Structure 1
Amino acid sequence: MTISYPRQFLHSLFNCAVDAASASQRLPAFLPSPPAHGRTVVIGAGKAAAAMALAVEQHWQGPLSGLVVTRYGHGAPCQQIEVIEAAHPVPDAAGQQAAQRIRQQLQDLTAEDLVLCLISGGGSALLALPAPGISLQQKQAINKALLRSGASISEMNCVRKHLSAIKGGRLALACGPARVVTLLISDVPGDEAHVIASGPTLPDPGTCAQALAIIQKYQITLPDSVLADWHSGAAETPKPGDPRFHGHTHHIISTAQQSLQAAAAKAREAGIAAYILSDEIEGEAADIGLMHAALARQIAQHGQPFQTPCVLLSGGETSVTVRGQGRGGRNAQFLLSFALACAGHPRIHALACDTDGIDGTEDNAGAYCGPDTLQRAQELQLSGRAMLENNDAYHFFEAVNDLIMTGPTRTNVNDFRAILIV
């Protein structure tokens, strides 16, 4: 089987993965029945929150009200549910005000009311209500330090829960005595519901002691008042088994695995064998790039462990310990490391993108590399190695016209990598 246009083929797999995770396709089957007598209040946060709210409006039988917060540019034309846009990945005043207004929506609820909570990746920054004694500016500084540290998403969210007045299950407590149904689009490796957007409506198994260990591991400075609350346990989150969560339910409606399976099916329809390596790969993006490149070369040169042609698919969330001054998200960082390791192998093509359409904080979803990518960079007198070390993969792929721009996809099941060996 010959693929005439490898870049377009890989991009089609990415589009298929994104479509498989869309709220419009996945959410309706998980909607609960409307309450017999009470109100339905919709709240939510995340890059997919507006798209999820729109899907609710299109399929709900009965009146609705509520408010969700999403990233700037990720809104949707909802009619009954208000949509507020705020900053991501570093929270801003708009996110703080949205969180305050969401909590106000929950006042005076009764046991006959239903709270439908729509959560997706990005909600940790977007639902920004600092715990007492912490200013928004302090929370912003801590968040920036976490993002540059190389911490995993589960580590970051453990810390965020213990800095918040609303995350780590606290938002659910504010809903009492109403019943809470949470629908989630997972952007975290392992699909642990309480990690997604720092679990605002789910009990938290993490502890202040664990958050302290993470801060110490990455040498992040906290205000003395926060440290005192963590040492004393005053900032502890509500735990599994807490009776205040009785009767609440949650459902993960979209996952990376589902998207990878959809992309694999599309590849097989085109006559290309597809193999899913993992849906929960974590680690330094550049190191993961080296690992994928070694596997791709083994296949291309020896037909092991898979025969060609084939495509390798993987998901998860890599991280980048920022040491340089350049631009570039984790997918571009992964792909530049991968391209350098493949050294222009004539049979290897690859794409790495974030399914939300935003690679880190940039305007691209990710990038593509082919056998001639490094050669074209050399003709422009670019040093891929130097740019990788400077965390400047964005400008590398921009110069060779290999960035992939999609704009916001309004879903988020995290990284998507596809490697074609012909």
Structure 2
Amino acid sequence: MTTPSPHTDPRGFLRALYDAAVARALPAETTAPWLPQPPKGRTVVIGAGKAGGAMAQAVDALWPQGAPLSGLVVTRYDHVPPAYKAKPGRIDVVEAAHPVPDEAGRRAAQRIAQLAQGLTADDLVLCLISGGGSALLSLPAPGISLEEKQAINKALLKSGAAIDEMNCVRKHLSAIKGGRLATHCAPARVVTLLISDVPGDAPEVIASGPTVPDSTTCADALAILNRYGIDIPPAARAGLESGAFESPKPGDARFAGHQVHMIATPRQSLEAAAAMARAAGITPYILSDEIEGESREVGKVHAALARSVAHAGTPFAKPCVILSGGETTVTVKSKGGRGGRATEFLLGCAIALQGQPGVHVLAADTDGIDGVEDNAGAIVTPDTLARARAMGMKAQEFLDANNAYGFFAPLSDLVIPGPTFTNVNDFRALLIT
């Protein structure tokens, strides 16, 4: 398939780069090299995440038909690949809520914990983990209700906390995350396949690390809650202050012999987009796959870089495309606004660009969903602000209201691919011609 021209169809070109990034992270393309041989005993598949359905589908297709295979994976609502939903395989896939956990997720986590019980040294556990698993694999620690866990989760999401901070709290208030799921599996061998959605690709941060040792502590979790002024119920505070909710640590013998494989990462997806750009005659520059910070501020910084390239040819010569990934955050200060990290980044970027000629920008979440909306992200063009003004919209007012979705929707600039069945986090591309 021919890549759209970056000069005559910049929107199409940017969308093609996004699609290439997503395709590189699809489980069907990345799983085979990491699968172990079938064991003497049973093979039990467990897992959680936005890519969970597609990961289960890939394992089911690749695993020998004569070898025993069963298990349960939980994914987000509407994130089961249509073919696997129409014709289920040997691995059960159930759906639950994200980013705030629900009762369906709690039940799924309880079932997964039960599947990990009673295994032998001859058995193999394949654990399929991807971003989103923290909310989907929700089994509160003793004494904490689901409703209390939901309230804490909502507060964290609105606080502007970084993903590693949020997941530190989540794993210490969980009965299954922070390495606890792996300890349930003993003495079976555990092989974890990971699709990374976090800056730095740390296994203990992805989905709050249900099968890997946890280096953070209850004290760390308390410090984060205090830093962001988040209240927690007495039972949660008591468990953290006493250390009763401490997670298993590196060196714990129960992790001996376990394997962890990273089967898809943000960097690999950015490199796939870069290869497509290069083939189209556009020089790509990958800033980083670990960018964090407030979305609108990160958008301003990207805009400043693009304007420097456009005006002065520094630090890069045009034409070029600047690529970045990571996980930014949105501190929600206004009720009623709609949008997520990608669109808030873009609105901050558009305001800073001020209609800079020759600059087109796409930002989108690789899972196909920006926050809780139906879009993955949006596109900014040189005439974005002018078109908005013609419709009576003031960009800064929408940004102040955390309503980036409401800004881009009337402009028909949203990117709406639907669920992609993978998740390697934010994708950003700035084309300067």
TM-score band w.r.t. shorter chain: over 0.9
1:142-291 superposed matches below 5 A: 142-291=152-301
Provide the rounded CA distance (Å) in 2 between the counterparts of 1:43 and 1:71.
Answer: 15
* 3-state secondary structure, aligned to 2:184: helix
1:94 corresponds to: 104
Scaled by the length of structure 1, the TM-score of the pair is 0.99
Provide the rounded CA distance (Å) in 1 between the counterparts of 2:309 and 2:117.
Answer: 59
- Which 4+ runs in 1 deviate beyond 2 A? none
CA deviations on 1:333-382 (whole Å, 9 max, x unpaired) are 00000001001111110000000000011110000010111111000000
2:10 corresponds to: 6
Query: Could you tell me how far 1:3 is from its partner in structure 2?
Result: 1.5
Paired amino acid for 2:54: A
Provide the rounded CA distance (Å) in 2 between the counterparts of 1:281 and 1:82.
Answer: 35
Q: Confirm whether residue 22 of structure 1 aligns to residue 32 of structure 2.
A: no
Say which of 62, 65, 75 aligns to 1:70: 75
Q: Confirm whether residue 43 of structure 1 aligns to residue 53 of structure 2.
A: no
Provide the rounded CA distance (Å) in 2 between the counterparts of 1:107 and 1:343.
Answer: 59
Query: Could you tell me how far 1:107 is from its partner in structure 2?
Result: 2.2
Provide the rounded CA distance (Å) in 1 between the counterparts of 2:199 and 2:303.
Answer: 21
Provide the rounded CA distance (Å) in 2 between the counterparts of 1:103 and 1:220.
Answer: 29
CA deviations on 1:395-422 (whole Å, 9 max, x unpaired) are 1000111000000001000000000000
CA deviations on 1:308-336 (whole Å, 9 max, x unpaired) are 10000000000000001210001000000
Provide the rounded CA distance (Å) in 2 between the counterparts of 1:182 and 1:310.
Answer: 38
- Residues 299 and 349 of structure 2 are in contact (CA less than 8 Å); yes or no, is this contact kept in structure 1? yes
Report percent identity of matched pairs.
Answer: 64
Provide the rounded CA distance (Å) in 2 between the counterparts of 1:207 and 1:402.
Answer: 43
* 3-state secondary structure, aligned to 1:399: coil
Query: Could you tell me how far 1:108 is from its partner in structure 2?
Result: 1.6
1:312 corresponds to: 322
Scaled by the length of structure 2, the TM-score of the pair is 0.96
Say which of 378, 390, 398 aligns to 2:401: 390
Query: Could you tell me how far 1:2 is from its partner in structure 2?
Result: 5.9
Say which of 335, 356, 368 aligns to 1:345: 356
Provide the rounded CA distance (Å) in 2 between the counterparts of 1:218 and 1:296.
Answer: 33
Gaps (5+ residues) in structure 1? none
Provide the rounded CA distance (Å) in 2 between the counterparts of 1:216 and 1:232.
Answer: 16
* 3-state secondary structure, aligned to 2:125: strand
CA deviations on 1:50-75 (whole Å, 9 max, x unpaired) are 10010001111222000000000001
Paired amino acid for 1:328: G
Query: Could you tell me how far 1:177 is from its partner in structure 2?
Result: 0.8
- Change in CA separation of 1:2 and 1:65 when aligned onto 2, cut-off 3 Å: closer
* 3-state secondary structure, aligned to 1:323: coil
Say which of 58, 77, 82 aligns to 2:61: 58
* 3-state secondary structure, aligned to 1:158: helix
* 3-state secondary structure, aligned to 2:191: strand
2:37 corresponds to: 33
- Change in CA separation of 1:308 and 1:57 when aligned onto 2, cut-off 3 Å: same
CA deviations on 1:88-132 (whole Å, 9 max, x unpaired) are 000000000001111111222100000000000000000010000
Provide the rounded CA distance (Å) in 2 between the counterparts of 1:349 and 1:324.
Answer: 28
1:80-119 superposed matches below 5 A: 80-119=90-129
